[in-house]
């Protein structure tokens, strides 16, 4: 391990990982987390700590999502995904729900996880805190 600019004491590493100091020491003693000695104290290189944190997170079992039985959003449009444009960070997803064309901007990661592509059925759930209302030009009324 080559120590980089940022190193963390065992206590700091434990706080960042959300575990006890003793747990970090056990991982280090078992060879799971490389450490070094700096000024007489055991430290963890920041790059090694970041890599280890990702490994820990990938092994965590998350509960399976349950079916939604109620929600606060009132506007739900079921339709077909008609277009997906992705770059390295973001995705633009277009859904045609009857006469309504809906466009959503989301992270590319979210679009990939949802496997969104043209032809997939999707539900656009809309909860807006700001709604703009416009009044169209009125035609003159006829008088008899």
Whether 134 maps to a domain, the answer reads no
Q: Which helix (H) or strand (E) holds 124?
A: strand 121-126
Structure confidence at residue 4 as a pLDDT band (50, 70, 90)? very low
Whether 38 maps to a domain, the answer reads yes
Whether 54 maps to a domain, the answer reads yes
CATH code for the domain of 95: 2.40.50.100
Whether 26 maps to a domain, the answer reads yes
Q: Which helix (H) or strand (E) holds 41?
A: strand 41-45
Question: For 74-120, how does the pLDDT look when each residue is reduced to its tens digit (9 = 90+)?
Answer: 788 888 898 999 999 999 999 988 888 889 999 999 999 999 999 88
DSSP state letters, 44-108 = EEHHHHHHHHHHHHHHPPPPPPPPP---S--EEEEEEEEEEEE-SSEEEEEEEETTEEEEEEEEH
Residue 129 clears pLDDT 90, i.e. is over it: no
Look at the pTM and tell me if it is higher than 0.75.
no
**What's the domain count of the chain?**
2
Structure confidence at residue 3 as a pLDDT band (50, 70, 90)? very low
Question: For 23-66, how does the pLDDT look when each residue is reduced to its tens digit (9 = 90+)?
Answer: 999 999 999 999 999 899 999 998 888 888 888 877 766 667 67
Whether 142 maps to a domain, the answer reads no
Whether 49 maps to a domain, the answer reads yes
Q: Are residues 122 and 79 in the same domain?
A: yes
Whether 140 maps to a domain, the answer reads no
Answer yes or no: are the C-beta atoms of 91 and 107 closer than 8 Å: yes
Q: Are residues 81 and 45 in the same domain?
A: no
CATH code for the domain of 33: 1.10.1660.10
Q: Are residues 45 and 87 in the same domain?
A: no
Whether 2 maps to a domain, the answer reads no
Structural domain including 48 reads: 7-58
């Amino acid at each position: 391990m080559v120590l980089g600019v940022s190193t963390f004491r065992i206590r700091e590493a434990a706080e960042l990982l959300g575990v006890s100091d003793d747990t970090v020491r056990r991982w280090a003693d078992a060879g799971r987390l490389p450490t070094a000695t700096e000024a007489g104290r055991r430290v963890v290189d920041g790059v090694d700590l970041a890599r280890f944190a990702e490994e820990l997170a990938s092994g965590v079992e998350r509960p399976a999502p349950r079916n939604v039985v109620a929600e606060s959003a009132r506007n739900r449009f079921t339709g077909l995904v008609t277009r997906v444009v992705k770059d390295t960070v973001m995705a633009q997803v277009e859904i045609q729900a009857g006469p309504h064309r809906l466009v959503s901007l989301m992270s590319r990661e979210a679009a990939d996880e949802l496997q969104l592509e043209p032809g997939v059925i999707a539900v656009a759930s809309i909860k807006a805190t700001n709604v703009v209302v416009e009044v169209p030009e009125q035609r003159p009324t006829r008088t008899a």
